[in-house]
A and B are shown apart, each in its own frame.
Chain A
Amino acid sequence: MSGATQRQRRYAQLGILLGPVSLFLAIFFLCPLAIMMIYSVLTPGLYGGAEWAFYPDNFGRILGFANPEFEVFDPVYLSIFLRSLRIALTTVAITLVVCYPAAFQVSRLPDRWKTFALFLITLPFFASLIVRLFVWVLILKKTGFANMVLQSLGIISEPADLIYTEGAIILGMVYIFIPFMFLPVYASVEKLDWSLVRASQDLGANGFQTFWRVIFPLTLPGVIGGSIIVFIPALGNFIVPAVLGGAKVMMLGNLIEQQFLSARNWPFGAALAMLVMAAVLFILFFYIRLEGRRGDDAPALR
């Protein structure tokens, strides 16, 4: 009796605590998402908007099963998709390579310097993203700083095409996403119990063996977490390619933006967005499976 009332009280408390945020997400996240889902299978209207009729060819146009009467399959969408995937994965790889060793360095600093280093890493957030990206335009453009330096050093004679390339986009992405990779990686490195490293050495493992068998597996959650946090926004990012990729190198984000704003083809834009989300969910699903397996290890082996 009293147990039941206590449980009711707990539910009431939970409801009060979680209610507002649940309501907010339901209204401002799930509803638009549902609208997008519906839009993605509607017929595009002649002058924008959508007509209330089922129309799978939005997806067909991208994935290759379009009814030629209505839409043409164009491999350019898949190639943009693949390019976005490639850029996002490269960004993840580079930020990881930069942040992983840095996290170890920072975690071994004295406390005062640690706080300062963390402050420096979050410092870019204090300036507007657009401003920071346009600084890269100034650096990378034909008459920009990078070309000037390279020319005056005699490394190149003609200004090189630095901006509006895939490389420029990756550079910008890495620049933006380094803090997103650093913080989760740092959190798991900071937590690492160095007595385990000692134990490993004591049991005969050299530095390399200790790294692969002890340090890396124990910091893997941070590595995976950081990778996801970087990969998801990098895949759909449209600001960086818009500023540093120009019209030459387009990513999914730009394509979607274009469909919604200039082409006024909401159903097609929604279909593209759904595919991005499907890709992300697919990857998250694998991550959760992986994490679940790690947790279940013990009973399975027993």
Chain B
Amino acid sequence: MQPSIVRLERVTKTFALPEGGMITALKAIDLDVRRNEFLTLLGPSGCGKTTLLHSISGFVQLDGGKVSIDGEDVTERPPHRRPVNTVFQNYALFPHMNVDKNVGYALDIAGTDGKERGRRVGAALELVGLSGLGGRLPRQLSGGQQQRVALARAIIARPKLLLLDEPLSALDRNLRQAMQIELKGLQAELGISFIFVTHDQEEALTMSDRLAVLEKGVIQQLDTPRSVYSRPANAFVASFIGASNLFEGAARSDGTDMLVVTPNGEHIRAAGSGTVANGQPVTALIRPEQFSLHNGGNGQPAAFIDADVEQIVFTGLNYQIHGRTPAGRKVVAIIAAVHQREVAEIDAAKKARLTYDPAGVQLIGASGGEP
């Protein structure tokens, strides 16, 4: 096993609210960040992801626990003596300094001599594609350029670890997607670990080697993007990552398959029997893209849900079909755009029979949630 670059042990932080009362931002969090990995902290606002980031950079005083960077205990060290650098959410570029001074700030503080400084600033600007803009002030740059300056400034001191606090949230969609790929490339080129904070699940899935989903100060799941998506640990993760159709109910076995029976009488079929004891509460997850449209022929499909179609949204790549089961539960199905004709039919009929493969249904919540 490679030793981890960052290790958090039972890290705890509680904030006093201005109205009185306390809020626990981090509840005894354990986390190991591997060398040279792109780790994303994902969660809704207020889940503690920024506090977790600050506990590594040193901007919060912890109430308990231990933070080690590269094997050294840094729990009591102030931010300026930790070997990590941060790309801030609003970039936090020094408005009174030009790009050259901003990027070279860490070197100026360290007293790096002029020739070496010039060389490294030049190299950092080249790396982010801003050569020749050293004389500009931050306000004379576009949002994307400011983003790159912040990046160059954060990597110039060759930190052991780069922290990124929602750095792409202020960019428009196209630029954000371009930057996602660039950041990933940069991380591979620099060979250091990135810890990336975001509330955007698509961003997290695109870029990460591993993904930690946070909620209420607790890491709900830490795994590769694919595993988190296909095998969510609980209902929160399932609903936060990707659109989900969740059916809470009680488990029942019919001999070959598991059935999840919801209180209003719907049956969801999941492959594999005997994984959940009869009568246990369990939640079945069907991703929208797992549904297909029943074409009417070939008799009864193995597993299906009937829905009244409420709305069909065309996104270019596919159709999002928003419907409601006879019992009144909302369901979402995503059907590829090539099935245009079938979609037109259900649009006319306002009724759809959504079939799914029981082998793809995830059971969440009860012990042994994986079939």
In the complex, the chain A residue whose C-beta lies closest to that of B79 is: A201
- A203 near B106 (CB under 8 angstroms)? yes
When distances are taken between beta carbons in the complex, the residues of chain A under 8 Å from B90 are: 195
* Contact call B78/A201, Cβ cutoff below 8 A: yes
Closest to A298 in B: B137
- Asked if A218 and B96 sit within 8 Å, CB to CB, the answer is yes
A interface residues, how many (CB within 8 angstroms): 24
Report whether A198 and B98 are in contact in the complex, using a CB–CB cutoff of 8 Å: no
A69 CB-CB contact with B under 8 Å: no
Check A204 against B59 for contact (C-beta < 8 Å). no
A209 within 8 A of B: yes
Q: Could you tell me the distance in whole angstroms from the C-beta of B241 to the nearest C-beta in chain A?
A: 29
Kindly state whether residue A206 has any CB partner on chain B within 8 Å. yes
Q: Which residues in A have their C-beta under 8 angstroms from that of B89?
A: 195
Interface centre among A218, A297, A298, by most B CB within 10 Å?
A298
| Prevailing SS type, chain A contact patch | helix
Q: Per-position contact with B for A283-302: 1 when CB-CB < 8 Å, else 0?
A: 00000000000100111011
Residue A158 at the B interface, CB < 8 A? no
A302 near B94: Cβ-Cβ < 8 Å? no
Contact partner of B88 among A110, A199, A205, A297, CB < 8 A? A199
- Could you say which residues of chain B place their CB within 8 Å of the CB of A193? 92
Among B57, B80, B95, B105, the residue within 8 A (CB) of A206 is B80
- Rounded to whole angstroms, the CA-CA distance of A203 and B85 in the bound complex is 6
Distance in angstroms between the alpha carbons of A299 and B80 in the assembled complex: 32
Docked complex Cα distance between A207 and B305 (Å) = 63
Contact for A198 among B59, B96, B108, CB less than 8 A: B59
How far does the alpha carbon of A24 sit from the alpha carbon of B58 in the complex, in Å? 58
What residues of A have a CB within 8 angstroms of the CB of B84 in the complex?
Answer: 202
Contact with B along A196-236 (1 / 0, CB 8 A): 10111111111001000110011000000000000000000
Q: How far is the CA of A97 from the CA of B110 in the complex (A)?
A: 30
User: Please, how many angstroms separate the alpha-carbon atoms of A199 and B94 in the complex?
Assistant: 9
Partner of B80, one of A204, A213, A294: A204
B365 to chain A, nearest CB (A): 40
Q: How far is the CB of A114 from chain B (nearest CB, A)?
A: 13
Give the docked Cα–Cα distance between A298 and B18 (Å).
Answer: 42
For A201, list chain B residues within 8 Å (CB). Answer: 58-59, 78-80
Tell me the minimal C-beta distance from A295 to chain B in angstroms. 10
- B105: which A residues are within 8 A, CB to CB? 200, 203, 205, 213
Q: B86: CB under 8 A from chain A? A: yes
Residues of A within 8 A of B78 (CB): 201, 206
In the bound complex, do residue B98 and residue A297 qualify as a contact, i.e. CB atoms below 8 Å apart?
yes
B157 neighbours in A (Cβ, 8 Å):
203-204
Interface residues of B in 53-99 (CB under 8 A from A): 57-59, 78-81, 84-86, 88-90, 92-96, 98
List 7 other contacts, CB 8 Å, given A196-B95, A204-B109: A199-B94, A200-B94, A201-B58, A213-B105, A213-B108, A297-B98, A298-B135
- Seen from chain B, the residues whose Cβ lies within 8 Å of a Cβ on chain A are 18, 57-59, 78-81, 84-86, 88-90, 92-96, 98, 100, 105-106, 108-110, 135-137, 140, 153-154, 157
Shortest 9 CB-CB contacts between residues of A and residues of B:
A302-B135, A199-B92, A301-B135, A203-B106, A195-B92, A201-B79, A298-B137, A201-B80, A204-B109
29 A-B pairs (CB sep. < 8 Å): A193-B92, A195-B88, A195-B89, A196-B94, A196-B95, A198-B59, A198-B86, A199-B92, A199-B93, A202-B79, A202-B80, A202-B88, A203-B80, A203-B85, A203-B105, A203-B109, A203-B154, A206-B78, A206-B80, A209-B109, A213-B105, A213-B108, A213-B109, A218-B95, A218-B96, A297-B98, A298-B136, A299-B135, A302-B136
Measured CB to CB, the residues of A under 8 A from B are 110, 193, 195-196, 198-206, 209, 213-214, 217-218, 294, 297-299, 301-302
